[in-house]
């Protein structure tokens, strides 16, 4: 019963008053399944292709004219004057892309590809296809995903044209386009629940922290308005420090502080003496001015040097997950060893990452030794 309904639906759609069915029905019959790939014969002419097309047309003609539904595929090819091998050759010379031709009888030319076991379990129509072209598969999926958005774009374009024809002002046009968007946009049930309940976009039990490493890591500049205020305040100060010192001070205030600056401003206490940058970023949060409590817990909250604010130790959640640029030890060995030293060797200034007696970071990484605070012995890097 389900099989018959599938066939009838396809025939109804395929037999509309159009020249060719957009679903490529009826499908060609075949004695066995095969993959047809476009020919690479450069000597093939248009007249040769026409000959192969005419041979295939005889097959379609026999399918339409034959009154025997139970005729075998071999008999059908015999009436058309073709063999299975010649049919496959014609298909190869005519097709423009890789195509799978499944084993079919004449009675199955209007039937979708299906699996008998899955069909019983699914109890609905199905159209199973082998993927031979990954790009076409991606385009097919994206077209389905963006179908509603594409239709909405056409609707907004039509609304804009109607507003232009009505000589509406820019404000009225925007209002009309916005109204069309709000009333015609389709959303899923999941998105509707998300917006109604005000759920967060994501929720995780552990923070993910990115650590910039290297000689010149990416920095964010201070907002222009704040930068102007700082420059104006500097210009009002006394000139006894000299222009060079003042220019250097302005240069320091040009960029926002990153994780490296905050790490180098860690307090001078035993807790931080042997703590590397990776541990520091995964176990501590930088507090904003509004997050600093009135009563500071000295066991979990610490003040940074150079008035860079406060940090707080993570106590309720696990340590964060760190992310950092990963350089190739074969292509850029100097950047690789520099990043490893920055992340996992405790330091308070950049000079400690490559002492003056070492020419490269790799040399210090492989042959260098360090002495930690309150320790009289040397440890290999």
Do residue 352 and residue 232 come from a single domain?
Answer: no
Range(s) of the domain holding residue 233: 221-254
- What is the number of structural domains in the chain? 4
Query: How far is it, in rounded angstroms, from Cα 229 to Cα 252?
Result: 15
115 contacts 3 by C-beta, under 8 angstroms: no
Do residue 231 and residue 334 come from a single domain?
Answer: no
Do residue 301 and residue 353 come from a single domain?
Answer: yes
Do residue 151 and residue 125 come from a single domain?
Answer: no
Asked if the structure places residue 142 within a domain, the reply is no
Picking from 150, 125, 154, 145, the residue whose alpha carbon sits closest to that of residue 23 is: 125
What pLDDT tens digit does each residue of the chain (381 aa) get? 445 545 544 554 555 555 566 666 777 788 888 888 887 777 777 887 788 888 878 777 777 776 666 777 788 777 778 888 888 888 888 787 788 888 888 777 778 888 888 888 887 777 788 888 788 888 888 777 766 666 667 777 777 787 777 777 777 777 777 777 777 767 778 777 877 787 776 777 788 889 988 887 777 788 888 778 777 777 776 555 555 544 544 456 677 888 888 999 998 888 888 899 999 999 998 888 888 888 888 888 998 888 888 999 987 777 888 999 999 999 999 999 999 999 999 998 888 899 889 999 999 999 988 887 777 778 887
Do residue 281 and residue 183 come from a single domain?
Answer: no
Query: How far is it, in rounded angstroms, from Cα 178 to Cα 323?
Result: 41
Do residue 78 and residue 227 come from a single domain?
Answer: no
DSSP 35-79: EE-----TT--HHHHHHHHHHHHHHHHHHHH---TT--HHHHHHH
Query: How far is it, in rounded angstroms, from Cα 336 to Cα 329?
Result: 6
Do residue 333 and residue 250 come from a single domain?
Answer: no
Q: Looking at residue 104, what DSSP letter applies?
A: B
Where is the domain boundary, 99, 133, 167?
133
């Amino acid at each position: 019963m389900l099989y018959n309904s599938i066939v009838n639906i396809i025939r109804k759609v395929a037999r509309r008053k159009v020249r060719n069915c957009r679903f490529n029905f009826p499908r060609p019959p075949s004695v066995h399944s095969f993959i047809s790939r476009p020919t690479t014969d450069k000597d093939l002419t248009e007249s040769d292709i026409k000959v192969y097309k005419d041979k295939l047309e005889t097959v379609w003609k026999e399918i339409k004219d034959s009154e025997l539904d139970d005729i075998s595929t071999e008999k059908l090819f015999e009436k058309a004057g073709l063999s299975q091998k010649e049919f496959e050759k014609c298909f190869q010379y005519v097709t423009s892309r890789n195509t799978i031709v499944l084993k079919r009888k004449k009675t199955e030319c209007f039937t979708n590809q299906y699996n008998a076991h899955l069909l019983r379990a699914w109890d609905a129509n199905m159209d199973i296809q082998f993927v031979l072209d990954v790009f076409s598969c991606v385009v097919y999926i994206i077209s389905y995903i963006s179908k509603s958005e594409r239709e909405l774009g056409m609707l907004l374009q039509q609304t804009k044209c109607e507003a232009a024809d009505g000589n509406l002002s820019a404000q009225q046009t925007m209002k009309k386009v916005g109204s069309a968007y709000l009333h015609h946009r389709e959303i899923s049930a999941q998105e509707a629940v998300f917006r109604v309940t005000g759920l967060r976009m994501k929720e995780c039990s552990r923070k993910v922290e990115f650590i910039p490493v290297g000689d010149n890591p990416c920095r964010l500049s201070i907002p222009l308005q704040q930068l102007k205020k700082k420059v104006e305040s500097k210009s009002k100060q006394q000139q006894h420090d000299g222009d060079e010192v003042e220019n250097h001070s302005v240069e320091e205030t040009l960029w926002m502080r990153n994780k490296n600056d905050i790490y180098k401003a860690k307090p001078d206490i035993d807790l931080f003496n042997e703590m590397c940058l990776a541990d520091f970023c995964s176990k501590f949060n930088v507090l904003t001015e509004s997050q600093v409590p009135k009563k500071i817990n000295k066991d979990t909250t610490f003040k940074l040097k150079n008035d860079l604010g406060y940090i707080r130790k993570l106590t309720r959640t696990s340590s964060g997950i760190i992310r950092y640029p990963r350089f190739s030890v074969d292509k850029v060995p100097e950047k690789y060893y520099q990043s490893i030293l920055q992340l996992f060797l405790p330091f308070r200034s950049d000079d400690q990452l490559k002492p003056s007696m070492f020419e490269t970071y790799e040399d210090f990484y492989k042959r260098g030794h360090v002495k930690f605070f309150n320790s009289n012995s040397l440890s290999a890097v």
